[in-house]
């Protein structure tokens, strides 16, 4: 009903790529899971997808425990859920969960300038946080994932699927 | 800005207990993080808080990877986020993340009957899933957690805080 073993997953189709693209492009809120001494830990994050959905950017303070966690172990999971509207059957809400590798973007590099521009395009009000020394952009690069688009509609997500979804969303 | 080291956390106050109670009582959608071979894994879940917020109930199929994970290692994290309304500054949305221990509720017990009644009171449409043999109620018992209620408003959450929040929410 929710996630399914890989041999029960459906092959991606065009409508599902479009749904994935819309899900990632439209929302701003995600949950990041990290390892806290080997145990799962969750935090809400604001995210910006890079063009082509090759990675997702988050902007984290040294004060956040999850930043300390991903420095110690870069294995993380990022999930974007269609927000509950309180009416639709709860398990019908679309979501995509992605196993990612996290890497802090080194300041003063071209990659940082590009990442900062991408992030601020989505969160212009966060400009002031780039003046705080303890914040870093963290790039979350997906390895694989799972999209659920409702009952019996589960799809394995590869980086190629994310690229296809980005193209369909004009990203 | 987001989570903070424990020595920067604020002591809980009455308004924050009320906010925590409202957050947990009002929403249905959460993210559950489990361990997938030692790496973090995330899935959207529907949850029902037990009276007094001593635990949170989820109803999982054997087909879900996260149920297999929590059978192998009961350490999980559950996070409830105020859904993004697309207008409020994104990091101002309230959320509570709870480190929990997961245990499957044995069928045919009084505890199962009570848990089932609690779950169905919140999700009456899920009655039919109780007829499917591969579903189990899983009880997530919080050990500690963190609530963020906006900039600089982070609170460590104990089981006693959850009980206080439940009382204020009339739960």
Interchain CB distance below 8 Å, B83 and A83: yes
CA A113 to chain centre: 20
Interchain CB distance below 8 Å, B41 and A4: no
Tens of pLDDT, residues B55-79:
999 999 999 999 999 999 999 999 9
Contact B25/B94 with Cβ under 8 angstroms?
no
ipTM of the shown complex: 0.94
Burial of residue A170, with CB atoms counted within 10 A of its CB: 0-12 exposed, 13-18 middle, 19 or more buried: exposed
> Around B120, how many Cα atoms within 13 Å sit in the side-chain half-sphere?
12
In this model, does residue A69 exceed pLDDT 50? yes
- Residues in chain A with CB shorter than 8 Å from the CB of B2 are 43-45, 60-61, 63-64, 66
Pick from B29, B12, B56: which is nearest to B164 by CA? B12
What integer pLDDT is reported at residue B120 of this predicted model? 97
Name the minimum distance, in Å, from the CA of A103 to any CA of chain B: 16
In this model, does residue A20 exceed pLDDT 60? yes
- Residues in chain B with CB shorter than 8 Å from the CB of A86 are 28
Nearest by CB to residue A84, choosing from B40, B43, B83, is: B83
Pick from B43, B24, B36, B48: which is nearest to B126 by CA? B48
Q: How many CB atoms lie within 10 A of CB B1?
A: 19
Tens of pLDDT, residues B145-166:
999 988 778 999 999 999 999 9
Sorted by sequence, the CB contacts under 8 Å of residue B60 that are 6+ apart come out as A2, B45, B66, B67, B135, B136, B138
Binned at pLDDT 50, 70 and 90, residue A9 comes out as confident
Q: Which helix (H) or strand (E) holds B76?
A: strand B75-81
Say if B94 is an interface residue toward chain A (CB within 8 Å): no
Contact B153/B94 with Cβ under 8 angstroms?
no
Q: How many residues does chain B have?
A: 171
What integer pLDDT is reported at residue A14 of this predicted model? 84
Give how far Cα B53 sits from Cα of A11, A98, B46, B114, B141, Å.
Answer: 40, 30, 15, 14, 9
Domains and CATH numbers, chain B: 27-145 (2.30.110.10)
Interchain CB distance below 8 Å, B3 and A93: no
Interchain CB distance below 8 Å, A2 and B93: no
Question: If contacts are CB pairs under 8 Å, which of residues 132-161 in chain A contact chain B?
Answer: 135, 146, 148
- Pick the residue from chain B with its C-alpha nearest to A129: B1
């Amino acid at each position: 009903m929710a996630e399914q073993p890989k041999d029960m997953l459906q092959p991606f189709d065009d409508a599902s790529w479009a749904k994935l693209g819309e899900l990632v492009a439209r929302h701003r809120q995600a949950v990041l899971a990290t390892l806290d001494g080997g145990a799962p830990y969750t935090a809400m994050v604001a995210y910006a997808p890079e063009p082509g959905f090759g990675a997702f950017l988050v902007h984290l303070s040294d004060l956040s425990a999850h930043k300390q966690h991903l420095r110690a172990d870069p294995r993380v999971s990022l999930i974007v859920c269609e927000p509950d509207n309180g009416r639709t059957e709860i398990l019908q809400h679309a979501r995509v969960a992605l196993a990612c590798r996290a890497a802090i973007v080194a300041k003063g590099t071209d990659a940082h300038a590009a990442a900062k521009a991408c992030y601020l395009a989505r969160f212009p009000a966060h400009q002031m946080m780039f003046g705080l020394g303890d914040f870093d952009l963290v790039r979350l690069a997906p390895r694989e994932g799972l999209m659920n688009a409702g009952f019996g509609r589960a799809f394995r997500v590869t980086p190629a699927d994310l690229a296809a979804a980005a193209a369909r969303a004009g990203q």
